[in-house]
Every structure is written in C-alpha cells, then in structure tokens.
Structure 1
Amino acid sequence: MSDAPSGREASFQVLTTGYTGSTGPGVAATVSCVADGDLRIVFDPGMVDDPKSITGPLAELGLTPEDITDVVLSHHHPDNTLNAALFTRARIHDHKAVYTGHTWTTRDAEGYEFTPSIRLLFTPGHSHEDLTMLVGTPDGVVALAGDLWWRADGPADDPVSPDRDQLRASRERVLAVADLVVPGHGAPFIPDDQTPR
C-alpha cells in the first residue's frame, strides 16, 4: 500500500525559502502554507530574519495569522519551530500529539489524515521525532520533509543525525511517493537520481 494521500485537492505555497550558514548569512527555515477546504496549515514556522517574512506572504494570500487553523512542526529544533506562537488560534501538531491552548491529545503522527489530500508520516532520521507532511495536489504529491533534507543537495551525511540508517530509510520512503520535496532550509526540488539517500 502506498503512503501517498488518496486525494489531490490540496494546494501549497512556500511562504519563505530558508537557508543554512553555507547558503545564507545565518539559518532560516523554509516555511510553507497548505490549504484544503477550510484548513489553512503552516508547516515549520521556524527561524526567519523577521516574522514579516512569514506574515507578509500570508497577507499576499489573503490570510492573517488568525486564519491559520493548524501548525505542523516537523521536529522540535528551534530553527523549525521558533515562530509557532504567531498562530494563536491554531492547533499545533508534532510527532506524538495535537496541542490546543493548554491541552493536548496524544496521537501518533504515522498515517494521521487532516483530509484525504493531507497526511502525516513518521520519518525519523534527522532527529528521533521527525515527521513529513504529504500533500496531494492536482500536480502531484508534495512532501514537506523538514530536515530530512536541508536543501536539494542534502547534506548527504547529516551531521546531526542520530541514526544514519534510519535517515536513509525515511528518505527512501518519502522519495517513493514524492513528486516534489520541500526541504527544511532550501527551495523545493524535484527528486532525481542525484538526490541524497
């Protein structure tokens, strides 16, 4: 059975393209927005040069932070999570729970479906808590992969990975279904034979 979402109704937009020290002046997360029906989901609202790097592109989509229904955190490193508090009305999702206000509901990220077009996979490797959000769009499956890849070229050997074999297995799992990958700190890329495994 494929991990790909069964639906192809969602849309996605990169709000800001991230970078790492080797490609920019510091570190910034790639922040994305996904929409399907009434859901407006921000993925990895982490470190950016200014919160307006997130709220400005949202405004261009006709959205305010209060319009965001959900925030998904690929993992708990600050460079991927730092601006989650911008979205005061949103449910926050991580690898093990959904957090709302001062309560949470424990649930496994693996296979969690927001809609038939949006689902989560548990994809550890960069950390023990990584998840990937798969988005079925009319143009194919987009994998918002957090730091499984920092950018299109990897790094091939992630220097912070606690388990290289687990990282490889998660990358292969995502590549089996993704037409487009959105990495944690770079521009979206179409995977090919040169994509680090």
Structure 2
Amino acid sequence: MPAAFRLLTTGYADTRVAGTVSLLVDGATVVVVDPGMVADRRLILDPLRDHGLSPEDVTDVVFSHHHPDHTLNAALFPAARFHDHMAIYRDDIWEDRDADGYHLSPSIKLMTTPGHTPQDISTVVTTDEGLVVLTHLWWTAEGPADDPFAPDREQLRAAREKVLALGPALIVPGHGAPFTPSASTPV
C-alpha cells in the first residue's frame, strides 16, 4: 500500500525564512521531513494533531541537509530516529550508512542529491497520487532558478536532472508549496 503525503506547513524565504515541513505515513512508519524554522511550533504540531498524531508517534525525522531552517525543531519528536546523508541517529546511537537507496519503509526511500549543499538528500515517496519527491534542489516552483548558495552549479544541475528523470507527480521544495514539474522547471 502506498504512503500518504501531507504538508504540515509551507515554507518561505524572503525577509523571514521558514522551511517546508512534511508528514509521510506508511503503515507504522510516521516520518516528518525537515522540521526546521517556522514562525511558531504550533505550525508543525497543530497540523500533526489534526492528522490524529502526536509528536511521540513520529518514528523518523529526515533532514534534507543540516541548515537550521530545516533542523531547528527536531527535538519536538522524542521517539524518532533521525536521518541525514550519512547516518541514522537515535538517543546515543550513531549508525553510519549511506542514505542513497536507504528505505525507511516499503514506500519511502532516501536518495543522495547534492546541490544546495554537498550533503543534500531527497525523500522519495510512492503515493496513490504518484511519486512525490521532497527536496531542497528547488526553493520554490518560482525559483530561484539558480540556487545562490549552491557551491557547485554542475552538481545542482545533475541532481535536478536525476530527480526529474524519476517522473515525479509532485516536488516538495525546501521553502515553498508543492508543485508539479513541467518543461519550465529549472535544471
């Protein structure tokens, strides 16, 4: 059975900054992706509660990368395992592993997608609506077309092409609303 994708809060990056925070549910696996900066923690916790879940129900948290606008509220989820590009962390256990191809559940896997930072990962989810990719390769559907913080423009382009080649029905960017990729999506 495919996973469910829910948007908890839509991010933005202008005079203030907030990351897009998402919820994925695949059977007993409950994942929050990028619980970073938001104007108020209730913007994460209230929608979680509206979906019938408490912070203690969250089994896994994924960081697309280690900037505070994507990690700041990780401690809200005391029972979770935490995933980044190189390891799984829980309490005082640090388990090294490559994120590329790592499955959190049958319908949720991680993919290395260096671009915004060299350590970026994307979360790839099979849903009833099609493939959903949660990634910071794009800030929003509107841009910027060229990530001003990407240390390697060619690496960013290659990772964007890798994601688009999957044929996702939806891309969930780092600081904006989910969008359907099209021929005008920047690479």
TM-score by length of 1: 0.93
Shift of 1:80: 0.7
Asked whether the equivalents of residues 153 and 196 of structure 1 are also in contact (C-alpha less than 8 Å), the reply is no
Q: For residue 124 of structure 2, what is the aligned residue in structure 1?
A: 134
Matched ranges for 1:76-155 at <5 A: 76-145=66-135, 147-155=136-144
Alignment of 1:65 with 2:47, yes or no, is: no
Asked whether the equivalents of residues 58 and 64 of structure 1 are also in contact (C-alpha less than 8 Å), the reply is yes
Shift of 1:185: 0.3
4+ residue segments displaced more than 2 Å: none
Shift of 1:176: 1.2
1:131-150 per-position Cα deviation (integer Å, ceiling 9, x unaligned): 000000011000011x2111
Q: For residue 5 of structure 1, what is the aligned residue in structure 2?
A: none
Q: For residue 41 of structure 2, what is the aligned residue in structure 1?
A: 51
Q: Take 2:107 and 2:28, find their aligned partners in 1: how far apart are those partners?
A: 13
Shift of 1:154: 2.4
1:64-117 per-position Cα deviation (integer Å, ceiling 9, x unaligned): 100100000000001111101111110000000000001110000000012221
Q: For residue 4 of structure 1, what is the aligned residue in structure 2?
A: none
Amino acid at match of 1:111: G
The alignment partner of 2:13 has SS state of coil
1:126-175 per-position Cα deviation (integer Å, ceiling 9, x unaligned): 00110000000011000011x21110022111110010000001011111
The alignment partner of 2:32 has SS state of strand
Matched ranges for 1:31-50 at <5 A: 31-50=21-40
The alignment partner of 1:196 has SS state of coil
Q: Take 2:173 and 2:37, find their aligned partners in 1: how far apart are those partners?
A: 14
Give the gaps of 5 or more residues in structure 2: none
Asked whether the equivalents of residues 47 and 78 of structure 1 are also in contact (C-alpha less than 8 Å), the reply is yes
Alpha carbon RMSD of aligned pairs, Å? 0.8
Alignment of 1:14 with 2:46, yes or no, is: no
Q: Which moved more, 1:108-117 or 1:91-100?
A: 108-117
Asked whether the equivalents of residues 75 and 95 of structure 1 are also in contact (C-alpha less than 8 Å), the reply is yes
The alignment partner of 2:155 has SS state of helix
